[in-house]
Structure 1
Amino acid sequence: MATYLYRIGKFAYRRKGAVLSFWIALLVLFGVGAATLSGPTTDSFSLPGTPAQNAQDLMAERFPTAEDPMNALSARYVFAAPDGQTLDDPENAAAVDEVLAAIRGIDTVSAPAKVDPATASPEEQAGALVNPVVADAGLTEQMMGLAAQQGTPEDAALADAQALSPLSADRTVGFVTVPFDGEVTDVDQAMRDQIAAAADIGRDAGLTVQVSGTAAADMAMPGGTAELIGIGIAAIVLTLTFGSLVAAGLPLITALVGVGIGSMGITIATGFFDLSSMTPTLAIMIGLAVAIDYSLFIVSRFRHELLETSDRAEAAGRAVGTAGSAVVFAGLTVIIALMALSVVGIPFLSVMGYAAAFTVLMAVLIAISLLPAVLGLFGEKAFAGRIPGLSSRDPEGGEPGAAQKFVGAITRRPLIPLIAGVVLLGVLALPATGLRLALPTEATGDPATSARQAYDLIDEGFGPGRNGPLVVVADARDANVPADAAFAAVLGSLYEHEEVVNAQVVGVNEDGDTAQILITPRSGPTDPATMDLVSEIRGDEAALNDEYGLSYGVTGQTALEGDVSESLQSALVPYLAVVVGLAFILLMLVFRSILVPLTATLGFLLSVLATFGATVAVFQEGWGGLISNPQPIVSFMPIILIGVVFGLAMDYQVFLVTRMREEYVHGASATDAVRSGFAHGARVVSAAAVIMISVFAAFIAEPDSLIKSIGFALAAAVFFDAFIVRMVIIPSVMALLGDKAWWLPKWLDKILPNVDVEGEKLARELEATAATLESTRV
């Protein structure tokens, strides 16, 4: 491989015009595509095949007009009367009516004409935007009338009415659900402004009015400032590394081109696939970090090769052939980790992995082709712009300094730093034992937002369960008793659970064989007791099926989100096995060793556990006061973290240990190879790690808690892995193992192809060529 990459680098340097023209044309082409082919993003967390989704699909089949709670476009206005007053008071009721009148004036509201509260169903009343006070009176009248007809006790009828009523029992809090035409992706800022303006009318009249729901959510895309902060810090680190403004700018230029093509490619993909709004942010976050790092490694190696030859094209070829080989394999490891997200089986997560892998691929291709062309464009000016007072020494030169002293101390007594590093990461990992997972919802939102305050008002006025109702879809098509009797049996079973506050049939399909049963749990949607209740209700189905021949499923937003979280948690181990297994094979190809990939993998496990611990401590438990709203960790964050961190961890393993392997292959002893390889690579790897940490840490400033937590976790992971695992634990282990570190069974040595990542074959070919030229001159 090194030989092929050497030829690519040399060609790109010499034929810089053609290579630069190709990449510029590609950038323009992607820009045109992004401007003309893009589509909207979506934030659906559905997971086909889960029990809740199966029940939702059955409900959609039997009740064609039923809405998907995960994707319905609506807004919920929550009203609270001033202290000491109720919403019954004439002035407050009039204020609510003014708000409702303003809501009806929004073009996209799909409210029908006014209905009679005494005869309309709760759903019809909500759709017609009936004042909560009027709706409560009509609903109570309906329920009492049904009770008289069916012989139902009055207290049960009143309980059923209160469970459906949009007015709290003390009549101080009420809500109206507003349906909108279109889909979530149709929401724009003008529509959100109209929704907010209607709420302001009630606030001006003295009411507390908060709005939640998909139509009112702020869908502003994160990013922009974070990327600029990361790039700014990266520029400073690169300047300090090279002591040259021009050299510092080269990795930034190529990285921006790669990220630009990658992000525009993702934008084009939105016109053909459903992508979540977070997909571009994650891809840019990862793509920007690795693109700068990959270019940094090749530029630093190019500078090192200039000390060996005055032919700059030759130096570019050698830099791409050696450091470029490490870049290719490091990039492949990251791509494998990201592509393997598809094994989880969640569509939106798979797409996020594909998108991020695409940006990493662009970063690799840019580094091995566009970068040498840019070096050729600048020629002898590639390291111009010296800054007085900054060291201009070769970052890979291995001159006696802090790196050599540091690795010397580690290799003299390797057991002490090894134990210290493992213990430190183990202690940091302890908070991970309390890890709790949940999808981001209004319950986990920022308390300062209107959506979270609306959620809290419902919680206080109606009880926690009103924010997270469950729906049982009961199918009596094959029942051995009349459908009414089967539904009654399900209700009786539900009331045996202490966590069920209310359960009632709220809808029966036209054929009369399927019912929707609404359950109000005692606990809220993020309370583990609610999902325990879901599991218990599902567990009761077998007995009811045996006795009555009916079947049912539990759905609703809480059940849907809970199933997604449980599926993600159960997928962690298989995903980890796939990623580690594939990457282990790749690392065996790179290092031609069993123990080096094994120690690299074990080191990754230490760093990822420590990262989990730090993230749980800060974002779930609230340590350090970094966030004001500690909440369970977002369900899909651990899987994303594992994939990305594994790929990035192997980056530093490849970049640092390939130099050790190179020295060992060229005749150095095992210990001297560790010392020399570390001294050659430590400075540039440290710079690369600081850049990556800076890029990720800049996203902590984003308002979105998910982006904030991912940025923190990735920054912490790079710090733990680069500076503790790769620079303390791995050199210690390599020193302890000695020659055994490079042991490979003979039978396996024959099977594995020699990819020559350290450039041994390339070095022999260059020496042979040089000898031939010398003999020709003689």
Structure 2
Amino acid sequence: MATFLCRLGRLAFRRRLIAVLLWVGVLAGVGAAAVTAPAAEDQTETMPGIESQQAFDLLEQRFPGTNADGASARVVFVAPDGQKITSAAHRAVIEKFVSEAADGSQVSSAVDPFQAKAVSKDASTAYSTVSFTEKADDLTDTSKSHLETAIGQARDSGLTVEVGGTALASKPAAGGAAEAIGIGIAAVVLLITFGSLAAAGLPLLTAVVGVGISMAAILALARAFGLSATTGTLASMLGLAVGIDYAMFVVSRYREERSKGHAPQEAVGLATGTAGSAVVFAGLTVVIALAGLSVVGIPMLTKMGLAAAGAVVMAVLISLTLVPALLGWWPNAVLSRKARRSGRIEEAGEHNGGTRWARFVLRRPVTVLLLSVVGLGALAVPVMDLQLGMPGDEVKATSTTERRAYDDLAEAFGPGFNGPLMIVVQAEDAADPEAAVSTISGKIADEQGVVAVSPPRFNKAGDTAVFSATPATGPSDKKTQDLVNAIRDDRPGIDSATGATFKVTGTTAVNIDVSEKVQAALIPYLAVVVGLAFVLLLVVFRSVLVPLKAALGFLLSVLAALGSVVAVFQWGYGADLLGVNETGPIMNMMPIFLVGIVFGLAMDYEVFLVARMREAYVHGDRPGQAIATGFRYSARVVVAAALIMIAVFSGFIGAGESMIKMIGFGLAAAVLLDAFVVRMAFVPAVLALLGKAAWWMPRWLDRLVPTVDVEGESLTRHEPAVPIERESAHV
């Protein structure tokens, strides 16, 4: 491995013009494909294997022609205090709105609330549902403007009018200015770490190229594979973070090899052979973790994982080829200002901050280990109260009309009104379908926690019916989940009594089913990902205990990160500081999503840091000295890499979309804890206590495991020291 990558780095250095032109050509070609590719269709995500999805599929079969995916707007009318919405004046305003809205283009229907009995008991509130023939993304500006004009006219009459639904819902950007701030912070960290504008700019430049190619590829393939905007957000987030880090590790090792007296070409080869090997295996762990998301069986999660894995692969390829090529153009510009001025490169001091910290841990390994485990354990405590769900309009800011519409409906019709359950009845085997449906409706109405059921609606064949059941509690309430489970538990008795069967669906039921599916898939997913990564680290470090220690450290960091997410987004600690408008359940896919991504990133630091320790140990250092040597060369750059990732991920906390905000915070917290607590404290403390046993492997296993030479033992060629050419073009 090291020899091959060394030759690849030298080749890219010598043929730098060709290498750069090839990457420019790839970027241009993929960019052209993205521009000319047809736009992605607005596909409704499906969740195979859950009851609520099966019910939706049944509805499409039994009620043909119903456009369930069409956009809708729920317009809520609230009368002024002390007045009734049913007064003649207010009724005339609402009926005029319904007439105006129904005349809009792409509108399939506009419901009169007085005919549909969509008026609260106290007559303070009413709502009208406006349905469209097209999906929200396919609505024309004319259609939206027509509806907005009708709403404005109703507001001018003195009524409070708010709008929920998908038709006019705002779509905030994923990162915006905050993402740019994260990149800016990354640039500052690189500049401080390297002391050179070129050394700081090169990783940023190559990372941007990699993200550009990845995003263009996603756009080009979006229609063919049904990729969404969220898919691109994750790919850009991870692609940028690992792209900067991987390039930075190669540049850092290049500077180190130059300090040992190697000529530029030889230094590039050695850097690519050693740091490049670590980059390859670190990238593989990330790819394994992301591709492993397909184990969950949720198509959206699978697409996000595979697209992000592609972005990581692109970052690895660029760090192994484009970075060496650019170093060939500016071999001295990436060196520190002091080195460029004096013409001499000094090797890293033996008593830098990394060495001092390593020796501190070596003197007090038990204390450091206990403090790190106890601290992470305390942060993980909130996980015991984890509640999964899918936040909706209730978590949006009160300044949005969607949130105000949600609150008005909850106040007027009860908290469960915003999350009704949809009951789909299959009565083709019943002797009297209408009687069977009536019996099922009555049984569900008698369930504790159900406040109302709607009249059933039959299909043309008369063998299938659908009606809604309104819970007494809100969509994200634990009691609503208990109600859904209770209705399903009572189904066998109801089925046998009526000869018909039913399924429970609706947005609330979908969220409950997805949460349960994710929880059930978490352990198999962990087994697959951790198992594959264990084997990979076993090959890299030729040790049994080092991969085991890496897995344990990861579990500590991910549980602590998830606990931090619960503390902020569910308990509300510090929520105002992050712009969290409303606390509530944690996004149902967050745990498995966090586990997958954080595992890959955690193994990055494990490979980069411990690989240098392994290299020092193989070259003759004692176990304790090997730890100090690894920190001497890697601690500073690992800290910088972690700060960069934290900056990039933190940029997504500024997103308006609650899901992206939560992901950004979770990833930033996980990197912070994993890099600065697990890898900088837990890992050296455990290795110090293990001593030589840390690098032990049974002889029979040692014979079976292939040798990949991450330490670069095969790279024995050393060129004589060459003074720096003090050319202005290189500075």
Runs of 4+ that moved beyond 4 A: 188-194, 384-389
Q: Where do residues 72-83 of structure 1 align in structure 2 (5 Å cutoff)?
A: 72-83=70-81
Map Cα deviations across residues 113-170 of structure 1 (whole Å, 9 max, x no partner): xxxxxxxxxxxxxx2442x23x15xxxxxxxxxxxxxxxxxxxxxxxxxxxx211112
Does structure 2 retain, via aligned residues, the 8 Å contact 1:20–1:373? yes
Paired with 1:454 and 1:688, the residues of 2 have a C-alpha distance of 44
Kindly indicate whether the alpha-carbon contact (under 8 Å) linking 1:46 and 1:564 is maintained by their aligned counterparts in 2.
no
Match in the other structure for 1:440: 391
Question: 5 Å matches for 1:600-615?
Answer: 600-615=550-565
User: In structure 1, the residue corresponding to 2:331 is in which secondary structure?
Assistant: helix
- How much has 1:61 moved relative to structure 2? 1.4
The code of the aligned residue for 2:533 comes to A
Counterpart of 2:264, as a letter, is: R
Shift of 1:192: 4.3
By how many angstroms is 1:393 displaced? 7.8
The equivalent of 2:535 in structure 1 is 585
Question: How far apart, CA to CA, are the structure 1 residues paired with 2:525 and 2:630?
Answer: 33
One-letter amino acid of the counterpart of residue 287, structure 1: G
C-alpha contact 1:75 1:179 (8 A) present in aligned 2: yes
Moved more, 274-283 or 322-331: 274-283
Partner of 1:506: 456
Deviates more, 1:556-565 or 1:406-415: 556-565
On the 8 A contact 2:77/2:125 being kept in 1, the answer is yes
CA drift of 1:492 comes to 3.3
1:186 aligned to 2:138? Answer: yes
Offset at 1:540? 1.8
- Tell me the amino acid that sits aligned with residue 194 of structure 2: F
Q: Which residue identity lines up with residue 71 of structure 2 in the other structure?
A: L
- Aligned equivalent of 1:20: 20
Q: CA deviation at 1:102?
A: 4.1
Matched, 1:628 2:581: yes
Q: Which moved more, 1:262-271 or 1:350-359?
A: 262-271
1:233 partnered with 2:185 = yes
Q: Which has the larger radius of gyration?
A: 1
Provide the C-alpha distance between the structure 2 equivalents of 1:426 and 1:128, rounded to a whole number of angstroms.
54
Q: Tell me the secondary structure at the aligned position of residue 762 of structure 1.
A: coil
Match of 1:449 in 2: 400
RMSD, aligned CA: 2.1
Partners of 2:506 and 2:581 in 1: how far apart?
Answer: 29
In structure 2, the partner of 1:141 is: none
Q: Which runs of 5+ in 1 are unaligned?
A: 111-126, 137-164, 771-778
For 1:212-231, what aligned pairs fall within 5 Å after superposition? 212-231=164-183
Q: Give 1:11's aligned amino acid.
A: L
Query: How is 1:589-668 mapped onto 2 (pairs within 5 angstroms)?
Result: 589-624=539-574, 625-626=576-577, 627-668=580-621
What residue number does 2:312 align with?
Answer: 360
Residue in 2 that maps onto 1:461 = 412
Q: Which residue of 2 aligns with 1:92?
A: 90
- Report the number of matched residues: 715
SS at match of 2:714: helix
Aligned partner (choices 192, 196, 220) of residue 244 of structure 1: 196
TM-score w.r.t. the length of structure 2 is 0.94
Look up the SS of the partner of 2:236 in the other structure.
Answer: helix
Residues 138-177 of structure 1 aligned to structure 2 (within 5 Å): 165-177=117-129
Q: Are 1:98 and 1:201, in contact at CA under 8 Å, matched by a contact in 2?
A: no
Superposed, which structure 2 residues align to 1:383-422 within 5 Å?
383=335, 397-422=348-373
| Further displaced range: 728-737 or 302-311 | 302-311
Evaluate the alpha carbon distance shift between residue 90 and residue 488 of structure 1 in structure 2; reply closer, same or farther with a 3 A threshold: closer
Deviations 1:359-410 (A, max 9, x none): 1111000000000001112233333767999xx987x825312221111011
Partner secondary structure for residue 176 of structure 1: strand
Q: CA deviation at 1:433?
A: 1.1
Alignment match, 2:723: none
Task: Out of 171-180 and 93-102, give the one that drifted further.
Answer: 93-102
> Cα offset for 1:757?
0.9
**2:709 alignment counterpart:** 756
| Distance (Å, rounded) in 1 between the aligned partners of 2:296 and 2:674 | 25
| Residue type at the aligned position of 1:289 | A
How far does the alpha carbon of each residue in 1:599-632 deviate from its partner, in whole angstroms, 9 at most, with x for none?
Answer: 0110000000110111111111110233231121
Q: Deviations over 1:337-379 (max 9, x none)?
A: 0000000000011000011111111100000000000111223
- Residues 437 and 541 of structure 1: CA distance in aligned 2, closer, same or farther (over 3 Å): same
What residue identity is the alignment partner of 1:412? R
Query: What secondary structure does 2:55 align onto?
Result: helix
When residues 748 and 62 of structure 1 are mapped into structure 2, their CA distance, relative to the original with a 3 A threshold, is same
CA contact (8 A) 2:72 2:165 kept: yes
- Evaluate the alpha carbon distance shift between residue 595 and residue 704 of structure 1 in structure 2; reply closer, same or farther with a 3 A threshold: same
CA distance in structure 2 between the partners assigned to 1:331 and 1:15 by the alignment: 25
Counterpart AA for 1:610: A
Question: CA–CA distance in 2 between the matches of 1:75 and 1:645?
Answer: 38
Q: Distance in 2 between matches of 1:203 and 1:83?
A: 15
Distance 1:475 1:240 in 2: 67
CA contact (8 A) 1:75 1:177 kept: yes
Instruction: Calculate the TM-score normalised by the size of structure 1.
Output: 0.89
Provide Cα deviations, 1:182-234, integer angstroms capped at 9, x if missing partner: 12331466654544333222222211111111111112432242331121111
Partner residue in 2 for 1:323: 275
CA contact (8 A) 2:73 2:164 kept: yes
Structure 2 gaps, min length 5: 721-731
2:32 maps to 32
Residue 174 (structure 1) shift: 0.8
Map Cα deviations across residues 401-449 of structure 1 (whole Å, 9 max, x no partner). 2221111011112111000100010111111111111113223333321
In the TM superposition, residue 675 of structure 1 has moved relative to its aligned partner by 1.0
Identity %: 48
Partners of 1:271 and 1:577 lie apart in 2 by: 33
> 1:260 and 2:212 equivalent?
yes
**Structure 2 contact 394–582 (Cα < 8 Å) conserved:** no
Q: Tell whether 2:665 aligns with 1:712.
A: yes
2: CA distance, partners of 1:195 / 1:646: 47
Q: Is the 8 Å Cα contact of residues 246 and 385 (structure 1) preserved in structure 2?
A: no
Look up the SS of the partner of 1:272 in the other structure. Answer: helix
**Does the CA-based 8 Å contact 2:2-2:711 persist in structure 1?**
yes
